[in-house]
Amino acid sequence: MKTNNGDSPEMMADSNEQHELDGTVSWAALLTETEGRLDAAGITDNPKVEAKWIIEEVTGAAGADFIAVLDHLATVRGVAKLDALVERRVAGEPIQYVLGHWPFRSIDLMIDKRVLIPRPETEVVAGLALAELDRVAPSDGATVIDLGTGSGAIGLSIAVERPNVRVLLTDSSADALSVARANLAGIGNNARGVEISEGSWFDAVPVTYSGKCHVIVSNPPYVPVGEQLDRSVVDWEPESALRAGDDGLDDLRLLVENAGAWLTENGSLVLEMAPDQTEAIAELGAGCGYVSAIHKDLAGLDRAVVLRRV
C-alpha cells in the first residue's frame, strides 16, 4: 500500500512487498495509510469515512466485524485490491463507482459509469411516487412506469416497498438496462412484478399500458447543454443521462405532454428537475390539464413536480 510519508516509489514498493510477503501489515495500519493518501490527494472532504468504506469493501466486514478485522493481518490479495481501489479514487473517480454499489432507500444498488450515481434528491422523488401510488391505486394490481430508469433506483425501490405493484422499467440505453437487470436480480422475490423495456421514453412502453398506469415517475436529463458541471460529474457520469437541450427542459416537456395517454383517470406524473425549472413545468402541466404541486428536496430546494390528472 502506498503512503504519503515522502519515501521514494522504490522504497514504498520494497516496503509493500515485504509487508505482503511477511503478512505483517494490519488492516488498522492500512486504514490509517488509506486515510492519509486520500487526504493528501484532496479529492474528498471526508477521507476518514471514505477510507473506512474502502477497507470495508475490500475485507467484506462491516459494523462489529469491521472493528474486529482491523487487528487482522492483510493478505497479499487484499493489499492489491485495496491499492487498486485507492488508485481509482485518487484519480478522481467518484467513491460510489469505486465501491461499485451505493444505498438507495432500502436497497443496495450495483452501479458503474454506465449509470448516474443515485442521489438523495431522487430518494425524495421515489417517496413522492410511493405517496401518489398509495393515493390513487388499489392495494393490488397497481401499475407504475419508471421512465429512464438508469440503475433502476426508483422503480426497484417501489417494487420492494410495494411488492404487489406491477413496475415497468424503461431506458434508451442498453448499457443502463444491463445495470438495471443486475439490480433487479438483487431484489429477490420482489422482482416478480417487474418488467424491463428498451426504448426512448414512451416508445419503450407496450401499448397494453395505455390508460392503465397509476403513476409514471422519471428522473430525466435536465441539465442545459451549456451549464458547467463539477468535473467529478462531467468526467465520469454518462452525459446522455444529464443534458437535455438549451434550457434543460426538452425531455421534461416531452414527458408532460405525452403522459396523459398512459395514465389512469386519476393517475399522477412525478418528475425530478432543477430548482429553477419547477415553475415552468408546473405551468406546463396546468396547461395540459393537470393539478400541479412543487415539492422540496432534503436541502429545502424545489426539486420535484407532481402532476395529477383530474
Q: Where are the domains of the chain?
A: 9-92, 114-309
Q: Which of 146, 84, 82, 72 is nearest to 115 (CA)?
A: 146
pLDDT tens-digit series, residues 101-128: 999 999 999 999 999 999 999 999 999 9
Query: Is it the case that residue 231 has pLDDT exceeding 90?
Result: no
Contact yes or no for 55/27 (Cβ under 8 A):
yes
Tell me the average pLDDT across 20-37. 85
Rg (CA), the chain: 23
Contact yes or no for 215/137 (Cβ under 8 A):
yes
Query: b/e map of 153-179 (b: 16 or more CB within 10 Å)?
Result: bbbbbbbbbbeebbbbbbbbbeebbeb
What length does the chain have?
Answer: 310
The values of phi and psi at residue 44, to 5°, are: -145, 145
Distance CA 178, CA 181 (A): 5
Distance CA 49, CA 42 (A): 14
pLDDT of residue 226: 87
Specify the 3-state DSSP secondary structure of 237: coil
Write down the H helix ranges in 249-301. Answer: 250-258, 278-287
Where do we find the cell 495500519? 29
State pTM to two decimals.
Answer: 0.89
Its CATH class, for the domain covering 9-92, is mainly alpha
Query: Is it the case that residue 139 has pLDDT exceeding 80?
Result: no
Read off the pLDDT band of 23 (50, 70, 90): low
pLDDT tens-digit series, residues 269-303: 999 999 999 999 999 999 999 999 999 999 999 99
Distance CA 18, CA 250 (A): 58
Residue 260 buriedness (CB in 10 A; 0-12 / 13-18 / 19+): middle
pLDDT tens-digit series, residues 241-261: 999 999 999 999 999 999 999
Query: Is it the case that residue 12 has pLDDT exceeding 80?
Result: no
pLDDT tens-digit series, residues 148-178: 999 999 999 999 999 999 999 999 999 999 9
CATH of domain 114-309: 3.40.50.150
